[in-house]
Every structure is written in C-alpha cells, then in structure tokens.
Amino acid sequence: MQTIKKNQKVVSIIWGYSKHMYGFSPEENYHLHFLKVAKELGFAPYIIVKDKENVENDPNFDKDIRVIEYRNIFNFIWQIIKFSLQNSLFYVNSYEWQSFIVPFLSRRTIFMAHTQPKRQTIKKQKIQNFVYKFFTTIRLNNETERDFLIEQGTDPKKLFVVPLIVSQNIFKLINTKLNTRKDLVYFGNVAEKKNLSTVLKALKIIVETGIELKLNVIGNIWDKSFKIEIKELGLEDNIIIHGYLPQDEKLNRILNNVLISVNSSLDEGQCVAVYDTALSGNVLCLPHIMSFNGVFNNKALFHDVHDHEKLAENILYYLNNPNIIEQYQKKCIEMIKTNYSINIIENKLKYLISKI
C-alpha cells in the first residue's frame, strides 16, 4: 500500500443527502464511510453538496469534514477545477449527469454509481461507456458488473469490486425457530423503480389460494400508486406498513419475526437492505438483475422483474419446503459475514484509494 502524502485532499461529491440516512448504522452510511477510510489514510476530507445543512446535522457527521455547498452548475464546475488544481482525489458517488463532468476536469477520480451498470437504452449505455474511459477508477458491487463492463470495452485495470458494508453490529439472527417466523417483508423505500406492483400481484395470487399471508413494508412510501394498488387488489388486510425505521435493535427484531424477504426492483446497486434482511434470517425472493444474480446464485429464488406468477410460485415453494429455507438461510448468512464485514471492505477500500 502506497504512503499518502500529508494534507492531500479527498472530495466526495454528493447530489442529495437525505435525512433518513441519519438512522443508518455508521458503517452502512456509504457517503460518510468512504471519507472515514480516506481520513484514516491521511487525506483531508471534503464534501461538495447542494444541501449542506442536511449533511452537517447528521448525528454521525465528522466535524473534520469540510462541507462546501455549491449554488449552481457554474459554481459546481469552479469547485471541481479549484480542487483539481490542488491534485485532489474525487469520489463521485452517484449516477447523475453532473457526475460525468468530473473526469474531464480532474486527473484523479473514483466513480461509484449505486446502480447496475447496464443502462436501459443503447444511447445511455454508449454515453456511459464513453465517460467511463475518463474516470481513473470505477468502484463496483460485484463480479457480474465487472464482467459486463469488460464486455462493454471498459479497461479491466480501472475496475475494482469493493462492495458496501453490511452491518453485522445491527443485523443478526436472533430467532432460529422457523415455526415462529411468518409472512413477507419488503425493506427499503417504496419508489417506482422498486416495482412493488409485482410483489402485490404475487401476494394476491397466494391470498386467493386461501393461505393467510401478510407483507410487511419497512421504508418511506414515495410511490403514490402503491397504496392505490393495495386497495384495487383488495389487500388492505394483508399489508402492514411500518414506515421508515432507523437501523437499531427494534428493526432487527421485526426482521427476525418474518420469514421471506421479497424484492422485484427494475434497477438496483447493491441494495444493502436485502443483505440486512438475509443477515436477520430471511430467505430471499429476488429479481433477475445484475445486482443479485451472481451474488445470491444457489442461495435465493429468482423471478423476472415483472413476473408476479413466478414470484408467487417461489414464495409458495419456500412455504412448502422448510428444508430449503434452512439451507438458504445458512448459506446467505455465511456468505455475507465472510465477504461484507467492516474489516474486509475497509481493507479493500484502502487498497483502492492508495492505488490512485
């Protein structure tokens, strides 16, 4: 590992810092965690953001971080140029069009998209492939993403698989009695691209067979059509909405009382919430997307993103095969503990930063 010169600056670019991140465990707060690791290597940490107050009011905010609030795109570009002239390292932490300006103004950049690298249109894919040529390094969540980008022509030397940490301090298996666990859980904010419609339609199929089953929803409800569809499908008695819950022992207890974690997102990055539910003992029903396929192969049941019938079939398969539940539960927990611990990820991050 290379020695970092004293007083080098690392600048994290954040487009939006939501207040719900205040309830994240420190290791799962991906915005602040990267700066913590960089600071340990000797960097002076900075943030460029549009909502300075939200960042600085986070109870876990490190007062050593200098936060710069940009006023408009011209001010943003000036800040990039200014720090670039000081040979700063930029950590570009979101998939926004403004992010794609940075590698053309700076020589030292790390990019992490928090979405899978496969874009929805050929045009967007070509734009991304072009811009990726100019980032120094691209941080990825899994090997499937790496293989895909290599196929797209990205230089393999730029690609580093360094996933996000999954908090073993908060999320853990405390209820080992499967006969006391029941129902489904969706953990995460409810947005359009999370595609909860497929989950609701699958639940409807199961309820119509006479099986009593409820879906626990933990997170902010941003998709206005979600509650409308619940009523249209007549599922009001089968949905428990918990709202947003901070990451603490109470949340872990709730996750230890449910059995199956469901997700049908159209587009995800790592989706740490799914890993959290698995650490808490839930088996997984996941969509066939790049974020999940390679990581949870032979440890979860999969469906195409809009295939509610297959999702319903997978849920029923779990309910009728408790031996599979025990196998997959054990496999997931062991894999996450081995590959996503604080020490493992922080060592990989330190290596990644020191390489630039």
For residue 20, give the nearest of 64, 49, 59 by alpha carbon: 59
pTM above 0.85, yes or no: yes
Which residue positions in the chain have pLDDT lower than 70? 1-7
User: Is 2 contained in some domain?
Assistant: no
pLDDT for residue 6:
59
- Domain match, 234 and 246 both: yes
Same domain? 194 vs 74 = no
Domain count, the chain: 2
Q: Has residue 170 been placed in a domain?
A: no
Both 202 and 330 in a single domain?
yes
| Adjacency order of strands within the sheet including 9-14 | 66-69, 44-49, 9-14, 89-92, 109-111, 137-140, 159-161
Phi, psi torsion values for 180, nearest 5 degrees: -100, 0
Same structural domain for residues 153 and 260? Answer: no
Whether 32 is covered by a domain: the verdict is: yes
- What are the φ/ψ torsions at residue 347 (nearest 5 degrees)? -65, -40
Q: CATH number, domain at 300?
A: 3.40.50.2000
Domain that holds residue 322: 178-339
131 shares a domain with 27: yes
Q: Confirm whether 4 is domain-assigned.
A: no
Domain contains 171: no
CB environment 10-49: b (16+ within 10 A), e (fewer): bbbbbeebeeebebbbbbbbbbbbbbbbbeebebbbbbbb
Same-domain status, 238 and 118: no
Same domain, 182 and 328: yes
Residues 158 and 39 both lie in one domain: yes
Same domain, 309 and 348: no
**Residues 268 and 247 both lie in one domain:** yes
Query: What pLDDT score does 74 carry?
Result: 93
Long-range pairs, 42-45, Cβ under 8 A, ≥24: 42/4, 42/5, 42/6, 42/8, 43/4, 43/8, 43/9, 43/10, 43/89, 43/353, 44/7, 44/8, 44/9, 44/10, 45/9, 45/10, 45/12
pLDDT at residue 5 in the model:
53
pLDDT of residue 93: 86
Judge if 318 and 184 occupy the same domain.
yes
The predicted pLDDT at position 126 comes to 94
In a domain, 254, yes or no: yes
Do both 185 and 159 map to the same domain?
Answer: no
- The answer to whether position 172 is within a domain reads no
Please tell me the predicted confidence (pLDDT) of residue 4: 52
In a domain, 209, yes or no: yes
